[in-house]
Every structure is written in structure tokens, then in C-alpha cells.
A and B are shown apart, each in its own frame.
Chain A
Amino acid sequence: MEQTMNNALGFPILSMLICWPLVGAAFLLFISRTNEKAIKMVSLLISVATFLLSILLFSHFDKSTHLMQFVERYEWIPYLNMHYHLGLDGISVLFVLLATLVTVLSVLISWESVKMKTKEFFICLLVLESAMIGVFCSLDFMLFYLFWEAMLIPMYLLIGVWGGPNRVYAAVKFFLYTLVGSVLMLVGIIVLYFYAGRSFNILELMTKAYPYKMQLMLFWAFFAAFAVKVPMFPVHTWLPDAHTEAPTAGSVILAAVLIKMGAYGFLRFSLPLLPDASREMAPVMLALSVIAIIYGGIICLAQTDLKRLIAYSSVSHMGFVTLGIFALNTQGVEGGILQMLNHGIVTGALFLSVGIIYERTHTRVIADYGGVASVMPIYASLFIVFTFASIGLPATNGFVGEFLILLGGFKASQWAGVLSASGIIIGAGYMLWLYQRVFFMETSQKVAGLQDITTRELMTLLPMVILIFWIGIYPNTYLSFMHPSVQHLLERVNGGSAPAVAVNAITQILR
């Protein structure tokens, strides 16, 4: 079965997207570290160029098919049958765009706040961008794994070098947590490789049928990798630490892109490769998602640290995403994908905003704030947009995503739908309380006389505001990307009649 389409653009756009930031990073090496302005300008130019290039994906994507597009395939290590194989479908294309956009904003937000080792910082950022794009484009399992792990290194450095006081602990925790999960995934990849007759080609692997027991084992192996990244309850505790200690740009990328990879992994690998196991395990996943939603939400109520609160709210919001994905119906999965995008936008924006005010006050303790709305009215009004998008108010993107997910979740399991709908009450509770404590009431000493946001900062937040309302009011622009791919995916998952299964499968793997 033909599963790919020829590249509609005449040139290898995906390779260019991956290489461009790397080339930029290499170029930065040759700039003197004292010339910070040049370093920043080059990073900005590189990231903007990458973003503009990725817009081509948006405009040239064929929304009528589930086939992989913009495909590139070259031999890489023929001995192991590995290929350099890239392509995008409706599930992944939007995340590439998100990654390139968020990188631009991260460069902008780090303009003033990164004071030491500026050169290394921007090199890390660009390398990270390239790895992120690679993860979403890879169609070869080994290549995917390579990018997946490569992404850890710059992130580890971002947290560990430019982070807060407790950065080393957070960085090591982040690294080990994700590494433990990934290693299990690697085992799973190798098992698949041998079972499928020495192939790393994801598209080829998807067409095969695997015995149920093997699927089950692989499902949990993949779960280890993806659930940690999402992060699902109960493997979420690295997230608050990492977010709290990371520099603003790190938090933004972490929230906006990195933790999407877990959910993306479920969609790209767990569901289509292991349909029977996914179907059987869906109730467990739904239960974990509901726990994450409520648990994450309630914990937010007791947080005293701005970034920690938003980090825990991510746990809650990502619970919605996994709920949607494992609802295994169109609304749920599409809502889940959209919500991933939304969460990237909204939480990214919240972290950007927190970074903006942190730069002024150097405190993350909520109790130190109060009355910011009086001194920074523009900032306050942008922040309230993000707040309400996070709460899921209609006309913002959060509503569309959450509504579709809850609808899908309710369809899949009434209990899951009802319980997770209570998450929207809790969500309103902690976000509004946060907003009240920071922005309302009497102006506290620490914030008195602060200057409202600058044009550069406004430029970082404005794209997010536009996206929030765009997706909120006309989500079909984005939903239409997904329809065929999601349809195809669900056919694979709910197809049921899998081809005949090899008898001695397990012995074959273990041999």
C-alpha cells in the first residue's frame, strides 16, 4: 500500500527545517561572545527564517488525504536497514509550526533576561529547535529515537545552566526521568524491529499485526516513555521542578512543545502500532487522565509559586489531552490534538508572561504580588486573555479543545466525562484566584512603579493572543488539517479485524 505522497514542494523542506537552525547554531560559534547584539540578531533571524519556511507547510499541506506529505527518504545505515525518512501528516504538521513559532518567541523573550553565556544559550535554543522538528517529522523509528534523545541534551543544559537556584536537581531529575522512560521505548523499538523483519520504517510497521501479548508489553514500554513526557499521573513530579527552575525560554519550550511529544507519541506509535492493546488499555488511560485532571487542578489551589502553579495546571490540561486521545473517537482525538496545540499556545504564553514580570520583580512567590493591574494595564489585559483561555472560556481556543475532548470522553465513558468536566470548575478556581492575587487588590510594594510591557515583549505575546482567538472563533482552520489523518488512525485502532497473527511470535522475538 502506498502511504506516502511525493513532495509537493520541489525542494526538501523538512530537511531544510531541521538543518537551518543547526547551521545557524554553527554560525553562532564564529561570532565573538562579546558581540551579544550580533548573537541575538543572528539567532532571531535564523528562527524567524525557520518559522517563515514552516509557513510553507501550512499553505501547501494537502488537507484531503491522510498520506504522509513532503516525504524524503534516503538510506542511512543500510546494514541495519535504517533510513533517513521524513514526512508529515495531519497529526504532526501543526506541531512543527508550533515548534518554529515558539522558538522565535523564546529568542525574543530571552533578549534581556539571559545575562551570562549568551552565545551558548542561543546555540542550545537552536539545536533544541532542530531536534524538536526532527521528532515530529521522523518516519524512521531509529531516527525518531535519535531526535527524541537529542532533544534532552540542550534542554538539560538550558535548565541546568541558566536555571534558578535549585537548577541542578531539577535538570538531573528531568533528564533521568525521561531517560528511564526512553530506554524502555528503545527496547520496544528493537522488539518491533526484529518482529517486523528488520525494519524501522514506521509506516511499514503500522501495516503489520502483532500478537496481543506482545502489543501489551510494548504498550507499557511505550507508555513509560510517553507518559513521562506528557506527563501523566503518577510520573508528573519532574514537571513542576523543571518548570520552576528553568529559564523562561526553557519553560516555554518545555510547556509548548516538549511535553506535547508524549501525547504525540501515543498518537503516532501506541495507537496505530498497537491498536488492540490501546483499545484494551483505554479504560486505564482514561482513569489516569481523569486523576491527572482533578489531581493537578486541586494541587494548583495550594501553590504559592507562580511557575509551579502553571506547571501543575499543565498536568491537569495534559490530562484532558490524554483523555481525548484515549477516548478513541473522532471528537476526542481531534479535540486532543487541538488541545495539545492550545495548551502549547496558552501555557507557553503564560510562561512568557510570568517571565516578563519575573524579569522586573525577581520573585515568583504569589504573595509578593498584588495590584499589578494598576501599574501594568496592558500586561494585565493580555494576561487575562491567557487566563480565560486556560480556563476554557468560549471564543478562546481552550474551549474548543476542552469541549471536544469532554464530548469525546463522555462518549467513551460517562464517568470520565463527568469527572473531568469537574476539572473546568477547579480550573476556574485556581486561575482566577491566581489572577486575583497577582493583579487585583492593593498594589504591593514589589510591583509599585513597574513599567508596562515593552514593544518587544508585546510582540512575543501578540501572536499567542491572535492564535487564541483564531482557534477559538474559527477552529476549522486547524481542525481541517486533522480530519483524514484522524479518520485513518481511528480506522486502524477500531478496525478490529487484524490480519492473521504469527504463532511463534514471542519465541521469535526472544530468539
Chain B
Amino acid sequence: MLQQLFFGYYAFTIIILSLLVVTRRNPVHSVMWMLLLFFHIAGLYLFLNAEFIAAIQVIVYAGAILVLFLFVVLLLNLKEEISLKQFVGSWPAGLFVTGLLFVSVVSVLGSYIQGPIGKYSIAAVRSETHTKALGKLLYTEYLFPFEIASLILLVAVIGAIVLAKRKLRS
């Protein structure tokens, strides 16, 4: 019962916060609501026994990405921004399509068939700790994708510099 209540709180808050994020006129407010949203998602992860994921959710998303967003938002002209409508003209179409898509996705949930259960039972992860279990897997079986991810980050770093840098001349 407590679990349901707990999930209910998180689910409700996450949805409300998501709505606030996409509807606020002022981008700074959106970012702030998003910050709160990310913390709640991290909480949900904890609830699902994924403490390492919860940790990087907070560190990377809330700590790094959102701050980056905030920086960029502050570069924009906020005064003009908040005096304008936040939605494009065709927003009802977007709403309609999204709604229908939601209905159709939800309607297939009933036909979900569970696959085979893996070896990482809650108890097994707990005994080893989540971080270690993930780390083992990451550095053995998923070593190659991991290296590629590092390369992607490198490319992103270089790309961001190249794109954001002003042209030397002109």
C-alpha cells in the first residue's frame, strides 16, 4: 500500500512537473521545473533499485545538462520572450496527435507478455551493490560500446566548441 502511495505521489508529481515544463512561457521557469522533475525521476529510480542510475540522473542531467540549458536561456532575450505566445499556431494538431498516440500506446499495454527472468534478482544486486554489478557488466561485456560512448563525448566536445565559437574574422 505504501508502495502504491509512494508511486502515486511520484507519478502525479512527475506528470504535473512535465506539464509545467512544456507549458511555461518563461524558459527559466521551465528549466527550474525541469530540475525538480529530474530529482523526482531520480527518486523513482531509487524506488526501482537503481541507485547508480539515480545518481547519474542527478549528476549529469540535473547538474550538467540543465545548467547548460540555463546558461543558454539566459543568453536569449527573455523580456521579449515572455511577451509572446509560447505555442505555434498548429498546437491543437499536436495535442490531437499526441493524445491519440497516447491512447493507442496505452491500449497495447494489456497485451504485454513477460519474457524470461534474468539472473540479476533484487537480492543478487543488493549483495553485490548496484554500482559494482553495472560496472562489471560495463567493463566486460559492454566495453566496446563504452569506448564508443567516450568517443561520442569527445566529438561532442569538439563539435560544441567549433559550433559555438565565433568566426575569427568578421
Q: Do chains A and B touch in the complex (CB under 8 A)?
A: no
Binding site for A on B (CB under 8 A): none
